[in-house]
A and B are shown apart, each in its own frame.
Chain A
Amino acid sequence: MNLRRRYLRDRLMVALVYLGTLLVLLPLLFILGYVFVKGIGALNWDFFTKPPAPPGEPGGGMLPAIVGTFVIDLMALAMGGLLGLGGGVLMAEYPEHPLNRPLRLVANVLGGIPAILMGLFAFVFVVVPMGGFSAFSGSVALAILMIPIIMRATEEVLRILPWELREAGLALGLPRWRVTLSLILPAAKGGIVTGLLLALARAAGEAAPLLFTAFGNPFISFDPLGPMDSLPLKIYVYAISPYEEWIRQAWGAALLLALLLMVTNFLARRALRRS
């Protein structure tokens, strides 16, 4: 009797757990499906090759935003990658260094700060001193977002590597920096690339830090010191607008951005699995 009740409860809980899972997955799959269906109709040749048309006029495309997304994000990755890698290597390879404790604390703190505050930072310290909105200032904001992610990922992968590897290098008479650069980093390459790509994917979807920095630009621009457009920014501006054509293109941009992020995530996983 008692046993039966226990089994019954077990079944019930299985059902509830799967129900909960469905509750999580269904709306999210619905969003994804909706973005796909709505977005696919907006993706055409013009979308990828034309600058936006003045409001109310038909046509136009997203080329400046697509180009800008790549420029801003790659510059951010270069800056954030350098700082994040440096911090991560310091924490993992020099565990006895006095800077480590405060650095770890700062990394945790930075990781918990909302992205919009990175935008404020870049506005005050880059936009105003440089006298203008710029892609570079947007990259700075996104780079700060990436730093803690890259730092943590780098530290974690390096920690996993056996100490014997380092000892082997040192036994060969290699100085510590050579061991780090020629043995440790190559051995951890997969994991580090994963960290970089995940940070990139996280930052590339953010619009909030770009509101007061990259600013947007209807023309194709490669000038890092001038304003530049970006897909998340464009989606925001178009989504809240009353223009049919813009809203249609916002769906297309959302799909494109989602696809780009998925590919980045997929590459990140593959890099991890390879190593």
Chain B
Amino acid sequence: MRDKIYGQLGDRVFTAGLVLLGLAVMLIAGLMAWELGAGGWEAFRSFGFWGFVRGSAWNAVAEQFGAWPFLLGTLITSAAALALAFLPALAAAIAVAEYAPRWLAEAVAYLIDLLAALPSVVYGLWGIFVLVPLVRDHLEQPLFLWSAEHAPALMGVLGPPTGIGMLSAVLVLALMIVPYASSLARDAIRLVPRAQREAMYALGATRWEVVRRVVLPYARGGIFAGVILALARAIGETMAVTMLIGNSGQLPYSVFGPAATMASVIANEFAEAEGGLQLSSLLAVGFLLMLLSLAVNLVADFILRRMSVGEGRK
């Protein structure tokens, strides 16, 4: 059988070419994992794997490195951004897929896709010059002053009201993942078969009841998977976060305060690190970042398979 399929010389050459290209792709992925793992080896060996993961010092003078502040920074900022982005993104997806008249739905969908294509540095630029002053003057400072007067205990939780810090980074991240999460949710909702809806309408259901009882349950696998993929996007997001988060290697301790993420610390320090253990630690952070992204993507994959009602496409 195989001989028949690949028998001819031309076919053999052609498939060999394709296989070569495929192997090249796999080689790249393998080398990437190897490079980060091997590069980070020195750091893992010096501090122990868990010692490095849970270590909270990042000190080039004392040569002490730990990824915990950046791991926490990544997890907190991306989870918070997702929490902010989830409902609006879902609402936009429902509006486009269920409620809006065709022309409006198309226009909105087009706009959302357009905004998903805006590069990270542009969000960062806008963040520095528009969002940060806005957040500082109209959100952080009033809140800070209020807490100074009425709830001094809160001040430590809020942190310095400088505009540059976690809050701004979270807000920009949320804005950045909304279009992505929304278009994934929209695709999931569009896969719900028409007959399901029509059956509900025939029973006299209102539009909301159809959405609530049929569309959302049917599409929940796709929606959740979309949400998790949006989370993965937020975890790997680099430039806008680097420009806004304040780049502090301390544990993220407050809402307004500076922090750093795994991606931002690599962007900040990799070209500059002088070598040795610091460099290895940065590669180790990259290795952890890769593991985290992989885990999140695998979860999304798993959910998509387990929670889908029936088969979506074909």
Contact = CB atoms under 8 A, between A and B. Distances in A.
B192 interface: no
A76 B255 CA distance: 40
A25 B36 contact: no
B262 to A, nearest CB: 9
A17 B95 contact: yes
Interface string A164-193: 000000000001111011000000000000
Contacts of B286: 116-117, 120
B156 interface: no
A32 B118 contact: yes
B130 A25 contact: no
B5 A125 contact: no
B167 interface: no
Nearest to A6: B206
B130 A34 contact: yes
Contacts, number: 253
Contact of B209 (A10, A103, A118): A10
Contacts of B184: none
A251 interface: yes
A20 interface: yes
Q: Which applies to chain B's interface (DSSP): helix, strand, loop or mixed?
A: helix
Contacts of A17: 91, 94-95, 99
Q: Which applies to chain A's interface (DSSP): helix, strand, loop or mixed?
A: helix
Given A9-B206, A34-B130, A265-B114, A115 B8 contact: no
A78 to B, nearest CB: 13
Nearest to A247: B129
Given A34-B126, A35-B122, A109 B297 contact: yes
Interface of A: 6-7, 9-10, 13-14, 16-21, 23-25, 27-29, 31-32, 34-35, 82-83, 85-87, 89-90, 94, 96-97, 99, 102-103, 106-118, 120-121, 123-125, 144, 147, 151, 175-178, 180-181, 201-202, 204-208, 211-212, 232, 235-236, 239-240, 247, 250-251, 254, 257-258, 261-262, 265
